[in-house]
Amino acid sequence: MKLILLTLLLLTGVLLWVRVSHANDVPQSGLPAPGFDLPDQNGKPHSLNAYKGRWVVLYFYPRDDTPGCTEEACLFRDDLHKLTALGAQVIGVSVDDTASHADFARKYHLPFPLLADKDGRVAAQYGALRNLGLVKFAKRYTFLIDPQGKLAKSYLKVDTSRHSQEIIDDLARLKGK
């Protein structure tokens, strides 16, 4: 009986490790960014192709209305005029649904799209999906995509309290300003 239990635990651990390790395949800078076609908090579809010619700040976050996610979103909101002046569009993505995104955007007056990646397909393409079997959520990753649709920079360790300013600084440097 102990051997069966130990075997089941070991098998479960291996399966979880495989799921998590495959989710860590982050696309490399300089390559085309994986495309997406997802609805925002209002049900309006957004695709990466629609943003050709503009810089895109594509940020993945775990859950609507949680402390770190709220701080990050509100700082992007507060710095949106600086980001827009640099030619960038901010887009948030999580596995929450459109209704959750709508409540979050309304509560914090978020003026940018929050895309609902309910099945986690897009997050997985960016290596940003944490799949623990019954529970899926996006890792806090950000990707800066250039106007030609290529990945210019990836942020895999995000400090929510200064991330927006970090993006502004890097975007200004990349644009040569």
Catalytic option among 58, 69, 90, 129? 69
Cα–Cα distance, 153 to 170 (Å, whole number): 9
The candidate with the shortest Cα–Cα distance to 114, out of 35, 57, 174, 157, is 57
Residue 135 to residue 133: CA distance in whole angstroms:
6
Q: What is the C-alpha to C-alpha distance for residues 93 and 34, in angstroms, rounded to an integer? A: 14
74 in active site = no
- Distance in angstroms (rounded) separating the CA atoms of residues 30 and 130: 24
The amino acid that residue 152 corresponds to is A
H or E element that contains 137? strand 136-138
Cα gap 111→105, rounded to integer Å: 7
Q: Give catalytic residues, as residue numbers.
A: 69
